[in-house]
Amino acid sequence: MSQWKITEKTIHKADLFEVKEQTITGKNKTKKYQIVQRRPTVLVFPLTSSNEIYLLSQYRTLFDKIILEAVAGHVDPGENPLKAAKRELKEEAGISARQWEELLRVESSASVVRSNMHLFLAKGLEEGESNLGGEEEDEEIVVIKMSLSEAINKIVNREIVDGPTIIGLLFLDKLRREKKL
């Protein structure tokens, strides 16, 4: 498909990402770019039979504030995305689900950052206890249930700003309007 030959080497390693240098070689020229490779992530949208959704309110050091976002986490090495989604839903929200569907696979960006995300719909919910004791991030996670409509309103008024969370909610809203939920 491409006239370019691409090689990559890791030039910086962090716990949750690597910086790689891409060398792009074409007929007459060579270019170098630095990119970020993240580990794959999953997002889970647990929906009740009355179209209520569970979200998390969580302090994030990245923004030094509390963010309203979907249940999410990294896929562990050797783990498949569905298993990671089930694990995160149980750990973060204390919820098990009988029905699972992968809604979308999304890249967080078309350039610079390579970060593959799997978005799951979870139905047939069973509430339990979450496994978090404030260990995971640096403050407690609060599980919040609201109607899908209310969540959509929070996108419009910019209370929800996390891109992957917005994608899942808007996609569910579309399915609901089409009576496909």
Q: Which residue ranges make up the site for a copy of itself (CB under 8 A)?
A: 1-4, 6, 12, 14-17, 19, 22, 24, 26, 31, 33-36, 38, 58-67, 69, 72, 104-115, 117, 138-139, 152, 155, 158, 161-167, 170-171, 173-174, 177
**Distance in angstroms (rounded) separating the CA atoms of residues 28 and 40:** 35
Nearest approach in angstroms of CB 52 to a copy of itself is 19
Nearest approach in angstroms of CB 85 to a copy of itself is 16
Residues 6 or more apart whose CB falls under 8 angstroms from that of 47 comprise 53, 121, 122, 123, 125, 148, 172, 181
Residue 35: HSE in the Cβ half-sphere, 13 Å Cα cutoff: 20
Choose between 124 and 161: whose C-beta lies nearer to a copy of itself.
Answer: 161
Residues 6 or more apart whose CB falls under 8 angstroms from that of 27 comprise 3
Nearest approach in angstroms of CB 68 to a copy of itself is 9
Choose between 104 and 146: whose C-beta lies nearer to a copy of itself.
Answer: 104
Nearest approach in angstroms of CB 81 to a copy of itself is 14
Choose between 34 and 124: whose C-beta lies nearer to a copy of itself.
Answer: 34
C-alpha R_g of the chain:
19
Nearest approach in angstroms of CB 4 to a copy of itself is 6
Choose between 63 and 76: whose C-beta lies nearer to a copy of itself.
Answer: 63
Choose between 46 and 164: whose C-beta lies nearer to a copy of itself.
Answer: 164
**Distance in angstroms (rounded) separating the CA atoms of residues 81 and 69:** 19
69: alpha, beta or left? (left if phi > 0; alpha if psi -120 to 50)? beta
Nearest partner of 146 among 53, 50, 43, 56, judged by Cα: 53
